[in-house]
Chain A
């Protein structure tokens, strides 16, 4: 309890780790509370092709491993536990993770976002029993099986493409008429003969005894419902910011952390970076950029504090 960190960073995705690289290089004592599953969303991806500096692409988990190594090289401390409490009421902020409480003069919230589930009956109890949000993790269990991917963005296209390597058929179910995915990802998905599309349709129930056997679909235009036999349901409808553990941090109407000037939150000395405040871009590189900015702001703010 004695050691006081200059900066405690909550989260270990691109935002958190970039922030750590900057703060440690600025000679600030830095702790990253990395979480039980460190590395953020990129740990659940395969080839990342749009992170500058890697012309052949880089595997998401490798990119995160590299970022962590780089942060460790400059002296960042890591705790691989989820934080359970963040107390911003005293002069030194108190962060509890695992069984320990850590003190920091400043905090950077970089807790990112996690899979948004459909929230329909039958879904929650079948996660790991045919319902998944991570094709690169689970696709191999669906060899020669029929799967659907729910969603219409880039991550839905990536999940679908990964699944084609194993599944016998992949159907993308999207609630509206047009995909949200980027041109290049749409093109790849549409050109893949294994991928089919069902538009204007949503999944209203996941059916099956011990595992996924069918889904109930509803056509949003006609209101008609139908059942489709499937073995797997991959959910890729977006992400929810991880803000649940914060009690007195202001959020915007969508539930993201509200950003004030200089990447500050409503609490002086508490900064924010990455997908937990960014509902707009949500890229690895923007998260890294936000992490850098928040780190520089934290450094400046610490400088201005009377010692």
Chain B
């Protein structure tokens, strides 16, 4: 197999960013372990979640990263399932990124669950098929297997054999079901109107796609030192001709989706929908999410600067932050109205993550970052098939 992209020599800026990334990952690892000491010594008492706000920052982090993995697989599938060859030059990076973000998500979830190891035997032996969470587990596990399998094949240079194609299709199909069942974990909760709705899987689909695209904008530009001169012609073509409009389109759709959700919430008479939405809209974070994290990057993607690597990097970073805020608002927002608590809690519940919870996020993200950096150094992520 040819390594056409590797024929471009890596200049100093690339290795500097690569080293910075490893450094950031290492610092994150140390900080994360330091904070996770709370988890080892006090267990989940060191979380600020409680019997009223049961799912906090670590669950929002899980949702964010596994949906990012979903989005990266969508982009890889453009080439490997739908035959859009222009995306081959970034496909291997997308698959490895999908693995790294999936691992990150599962670490965040694993450190949040009370008895994570027990899952290994109680989930397969009890077949709780009425639970959306059971299906989510089944599909994300299948997806993880197919994704790693596909990467191993691609890493051996097998892009287009029958087996490789089938595994690629299976990873795409399982991740469609995986994100949809994750959406249903929230969307099927009729007792929580803030989450409820059959369209939640669609909302997750579009935001997942945007999340994956934003990571591509950030990470691939960083991989090439935020300079398109370092890219091969085909990577440059993918990143300048195809990615900006797709990214902009997804961003526009998510902006519309976010605004319609907001307006519906503000307009609604249902207290469980209206009251938390009114509260959220009044926060700095919501305003930052909309204006800095969505409107500004959308304006950048509509401007003539959209092909500029540094602009793309910035837009990717801003969208990632906005989506993270959005996941947090969604997960925590659905729990702000106290569930049948009367005057014990006569206002919205208050929750702010503890240091340990932030530590879990930093630890998971650092491991993901180091995993990606390892791939970038050792696994020839620039590979693409021979034409």
Pair from one complex = no
Q: Which residues of A contact B (CB under 8 A)?
A: none
